[in-house]
A and B are shown apart, each in its own frame.
Chain A
Amino acid sequence: MKQEEKKIRKGYDNELRMEFDAISYNEGFARMAVSAFITPLNPTLEEMADVKTAVSEAVTNAVIHGYGNVQGYIPGRMQCPREISSGKVRMYCRIEGDVLFVEIEDDGKGIDNVEQALEPLYTTKPEYERSGMGFAFMEAFMDDLQVLSAPGRGCKVIMEKKLGSIPWLEELE
């Protein structure tokens, strides 16, 4: 009986796949979905915040840079901005043991130079006050980050993080 209980807890695996419109409103929705998805792993508040920030950055990138939907838009409550382009963002999450895998994919315009895009403070949209810290935050808050992209062929961000572990970053004073 005891052994069985252990097995169930240890081998907790789960998958989530969703597709949503590339509009700013869905950034909040995506990070809420992920935080609900990882709750059974009992992450610390810090880990929860890390995952939410990283997912928010990746989805924001897809919305703003992939599809060029810079303006904020709430469906049903606001008039749709004229220049909004239709497109979908796909999110795939998987829990394997205590490790979370997240993939966020779009079919937008892609990245010309991935290496340059990963540099902190590098942004192609300074006129919209983008800080250029998106990938830097994803790298800082997750354990592993991979960016697969080519011009005109969309972008896929693959992230990985071990949850329920000791914080690796000392508290900043």
Chain B
Amino acid sequence: MEADFQVIDNYLMVKMPAEIDHHQSGAISRRADSFLMQDSIRGIVFDFEDTKFMDSSGIGIIMGRYKKIACLGGKVFAIHADRQIRRILYISGLSKIMEIME
């Protein structure tokens, strides 16, 4: 399953795939960046509703997008993150730079 992208009210919604690993990460990053370039995006929302597995490649995706959007004053959010994904976000320290919401 591929990631799904949508822009709602200047926020880029990224519906993450079921499994996020190195195999998928490059394509997600590239597609997200193409959206960041063309619109006046104020924030990125990563939706983990369907995600069952994520490793450090997912951290790379979020960190890379954060670096790009933070210098323009944008914010990064995570929604529907299950317990395991939350743990990964906490251990990696990403919880400090992004907002994790229900």
- Residues of A bordering B, CB below 8 Å: 24-25, 27-28, 31, 45-46, 49, 52-53, 56-57, 60, 63-64, 70-72, 128-134, 136-137, 140, 169, 171-172
A53/B91 contact (C-beta < 8 A), A60-B22, A129-B25, A129-B64 known: no
CB-based contact B56/A131 at 8 Å: yes
Residues of B within 8 Å of A, CB-based: how many?
Answer: 27
Bound CA–CA A49/B23 (angstroms): 18
A72-B22 CB under 8 A given contacts A129-B60, A169-B87: yes
> Within residues 14 to 56 of chain B, which ones have a CB less than 8 A from any CB in chain A?
19, 21-27, 29, 53-56
| Contact of B97 with A by CB under 8 A | no
- B-side residues, CB < 8 A to A, are 19, 21-27, 29, 53-57, 59-61, 63-64, 83-84, 86-88, 90-92
A173 and B90 CA atoms in complex are apart in Å by 10
Other-chain contact of B60, A27, A131, A136 (Cβ < 8 Å) = A131
B55 near A60: Cβ-Cβ < 8 Å: yes
* A24→B90 CA distance, assembly (Å): 26
Q: By the criterion CB–CB under 8 Å, are A24 and B53 in contact?
A: no
The answer, among B29, B55, B83, B88, for a CB contact under 8 Å with A171, is: B83
